[in-house]
């Protein structure tokens, strides 16, 4: 995203980058868990 700024002053974008990385990781974990949950529910519905 801000590669030029990141190269010029890494410490300015270090914290926001870490926050964005954490938020993206949390979002991906939540979406993955939701997809797995939907698959499990569909599988149980098929079994029952």
Q: What is the residue extent of each domain of the chain?
A: 3-47
Question: Model confidence over 11-23: pLDDT tens digits?
Answer: 666 677 778 888 8
Q: Is the pLDDT of residue 33 over 90?
A: yes
Measured between alpha carbons, how far is 6 from 32 in angstroms, rounded to an integer? 30
pLDDT at position 38 is 95
Question: In the chain, which residue ranges form alpha helices assigned H by DSSP?
Answer: 3-8, 10-47
What is the per-residue burial (b if ≥16 Cβ within 10 Å, else e) of 11-42?
eebeeeeeeeeeeeeeeeeeeeeeeeeeeeee
- Six token digits for residue 5: 């700024």
């Amino acid at each position: 995203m801000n590669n030029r700024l990141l190269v010029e002053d890494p410490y300015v974008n270090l914290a926001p980058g870490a926050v964005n990385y954490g938020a993206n990781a949390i979002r991906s974990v939540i979406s993955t868990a939701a997809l797995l949950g939907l698959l499990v529910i569909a599988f149980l519905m098929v079994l029952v």
